[in-house]
Structure 1
Amino acid sequence: MSTDIQINKPAPIASIKEVALFDSTSDIEFTIKTLEADKPVLITEFYSDGLLLLKELKMHLKRKLSNKTFKEQREYRAEYHKLSNLIVIEIVAHRLTVKKAPAIGWLEKLYPETPDFFLSFSQIQGLNSAWQWYKNGISIPVLRNKVHPYYGTYFPTRFDHLELFEQWLKRYTGPKKTAIDVGVGSGILAFQMVKHGFQKVFGTDTNPNAIVGLTEFMGDTKLSRKIELDLGHLFGNFDKQTELIVFNPPWLPESRSLDNIDQAIYYNKNLFPDFFAAAKKRLLPDGKLVLIFSNLAQITKVTKEHPIEKELAEGGRFQLEKCYKKTVKAASDKTKRDAHWRASEEVELWVLTNN
């Protein structure tokens, strides 16, 4: 694996001309008018001043824009995204210059050659959250140790599908020489397979941050000898046949009405046909293909089509051995926005074999 992979990160702003300054004594209304005139605003005194300005900006936009229909919500989000990114903060010697600011290790880790620069306050918030996850780690019920997700890498916040895979691995009696984890992400499925005795797991991902982060996380431990990584689409450079292919794809089809399509959450129309065609070449005659999916797209009425069912009906490549389903745990009281459909959400584990 190449070590000179380019990581995805917010682009540093070298310098800013004609910037307005903001602190707790500034006129909020005037500052928001400055942002609406497409001029940057620099937070100068306390980190909390940036939080205050973002809060006031949200309230201002809610008064100004209706924000009721889906279209209006999109307009509100687009306007908030545009204006909030004009609120900037200065970094000197890899530290935020304002008082009572959090220490964010990513500033040095991701920008080793650039000690002094500017970023938008929103980007700094994202880096700060990601640093807390990375530094403190997250506990995953199916693993003994915490994982430390790298900046810009998808990691699960719900675990029903991982528990379903864990139950399947406990029952699996086939050979455990090699397996391929397509879209390895923060490595959880690969770690589960190693835990259950697989000698070698090949993991691929299109996200460079996932590959760099996992390589760093494994270091020169036993895991690094058991898990081999490759930056690439679907199977990357791994073309040998294997007894197990595991894929936890995105669960929602991409739609034109979505901004900033996230490849960990949304799939395009070619993903499943391309995956099944490539998987057919790489699965040993007696091998198993395991897909972890959900009925999320159907119950939220995004689409009636289920890509795995479609492949089984029309593809002619694989047959169904078994489909396991698990009802998703109830949403917490904090997540009120999607609780109405969570009651009927199920995660699915599909086991397919060669035709």
Structure 2
Amino acid sequence: MTAADYINWSDLGRPVTALWRSANGAPAPKRVEPVDDTITADAAYRLASQGVAMLWNGDFQNARQILTALEHRTRPRPDHTERSTADLFYRYRQNRSHRARILGLLLVPLAVGNTIGLRRAPDVHAATVAAYGSITEASVVSLHEVLGTIGAHQWRTKGIPVAALNANIYPHYGTFFPVRSEYVDLVASAPLAAPQLAFDIGTGTGVLAAVLATRGVPHVVATDIESRAVASARETVSLLKLDGQVEVQLTSLFPEGKADLIVCNPPWIPATAHSLLDAAVYDPGSRMLKGFLAGVLDHLEPNGEVWLVLSDFAELVGLRSRGDLLNVIDAAGLRVIGALEAPARHSRARDTNDPLHAVRANEVTSLWRLCAS
């Protein structure tokens, strides 16, 4: 889960080495220079643009101001050129990648005991333990990533309300937060035939497995390939007192055996993930989608049903056509017996400043009901 390497720099002519940490899989920077409160935002941007990482030795809040200035400098400029949706998406991804690279080059020290030894630094112990584990060796981390761990920890502490469960859940760092309710509501409302056993493939926080259990499925096996997701799902199940119904396994795709109902909400954009946290959204070459569909019949009971929950975002930006999806379903020996749809209700669909606003506003999430051909 955590990328680790050593980075080196010179401090007053003295060589210094520290452990590089990134919970998001960012590679260790090759060039590092110590900086302090005297650096200007323009100078910081020039260094970052040259690929030079800056290890902050000044006041923590001043570092945040420099980071904010870098964020302003990496915002996409207004572009009134008429472009295709595919080109808009490509430029959006290109800017996101550039922005992440620049912002990730402002670094802070993370000391033994998960503290940041800078003036006016906040208490980051709980947030960084969740992301990196207990720090037992002097380390260096990206300030932008640290602030992300703080935000994630605040979400976890507060909890995320899930209307379909009439409860809050508390996702672990690194799992996809179910702030988009469309896919959850579809699973909560789809016709359910009384399955005795259901599989939830790629469970994440375990929210869909919990929904199935609360709908009366006696036994649900939820799987995920990420250990952070498995830990988060097990906690969700325990908090909702569904331990007797839901079993969570660390495995790739399918557990052993066959089920009456198999549910999967795979990453919905067939493009390369630029970070570990992107893996819940981006599925390069539709590998998970295709792998799930190709193997699902081997794990489905006769007369069983498959629920594939998928956004049409990829279709709207030209990365996959509806025909492509139906062809993959057909090639897997499956046929469509019904579909439920939910329009986008998440906040980004209402953000008119988003360059992809028109796409997000028209996005539809579908629950495809499939069975053997």
Normalised by the length of structure 2, the TM-score is: 0.79
Whichever residue aligns with residue 343 of structure 2, its letter is T
| Cα distance in 1 between the residues matched to 2:94 and 2:268 | 25
> What does residue range 172-321 of structure 1 map to in structure 2 within 5 Å?
172-175=192-195, 177-219=196-238, 222-235=241-254, 238-254=255-271, 259-260=274-275, 262-267=278-283, 268-315=285-332, 317-321=333-337
- Quickly say closer, same or farther: Cα 1:313–1:78, change in 2 above 3 A: closer
- Give 2:55's match in structure 1, choosing from 20, 39, 42: 42
Shift of residue 338 of structure 1?
2.8
| Cα distance in 2 between the residues matched to 1:344 and 1:59 | 28
Whichever residue aligns with residue 186 of structure 2, its letter is L
SS at match of 1:324: strand
Unpaired stretches in structure 1, ≥5 consecutive residues: 1-7
SS at match of 2:164: coil
| Cα distance in 1 between the residues matched to 2:75 and 2:345 | 33
SS at match of 1:152: coil
Contact in 1 for aligned 2:262/2:307 (Cα 8 Å)? yes
| Cα distance in 2 between the residues matched to 1:247 and 1:57 | 39
SS at match of 2:280: coil
| Cα distance in 1 between the residues matched to 2:269 and 2:340 | 19
Counterpart check, 1:57 vs 2:43: no
Counterpart check, 1:96 vs 2:116: yes
> What does residue range 336-351 of structure 1 map to in structure 2 within 5 Å?
336-351=354-369
Contact in 1 for aligned 2:350/2:361 (Cα 8 Å)? no
Shift of residue 86 of structure 1?
2.7
| Cα distance in 2 between the residues matched to 1:12 and 1:101 | 24
CA offsets, 1:162-200, max 9 Å, x none?
A: 2122111xx42323x211000001111011011111122
| Cα distance in 1 between the residues matched to 2:135 and 2:351 | 44
Shift of residue 218 of structure 1?
4.2
Query: Which residue is 1:106 aligned to?
Result: 127
| Cα distance in 1 between the residues matched to 2:2 and 2:139 | 14
| Cα distance in 2 between the residues matched to 1:29 and 1:308 | 47
CA offsets, 1:259-308, max 9 Å, x none?
A: 44833212224433432232101111121111111222222222224554
104-113 or 28-37: which moved more? 28-37
Identity %: 22
Query: Which residue is 1:9 aligned to?
Result: 2
Normalised by the length of structure 1, the TM-score is: 0.82
Query: Which residue is 1:138 aligned to?
Result: 160
Whichever residue aligns with residue 288 of structure 2, its letter is L
- Quickly say closer, same or farther: Cα 1:72–1:309, change in 2 above 3 A: closer
- Give 2:339's match in structure 1, choosing from 306, 320, 323: 323
Whichever residue aligns with residue 35 of structure 2, its letter is L
CA offsets, 1:126-167, max 9 Å, x none?
A: 211211111211112212221111111112322122212211
| Cα distance in 1 between the residues matched to 2:156 and 2:3 | 17
Contact in 2 for aligned 1:135/1:148 (Cα 8 Å)? yes
Counterpart check, 1:352 vs 2:370: yes
| Cα distance in 2 between the residues matched to 1:165 and 1:63 | 37
Aligned residue pairs: how many? 338
| Cα distance in 1 between the residues matched to 2:48 and 2:329 | 53
Contact in 2 for aligned 1:94/1:116 (Cα 8 Å)? no
| Cα distance in 1 between the residues matched to 2:101 and 2:331 | 44
- Give 1:122's match in structure 2, choosing from 129, 144, 160: 144
| Cα distance in 1 between the residues matched to 2:304 and 2:96 | 46
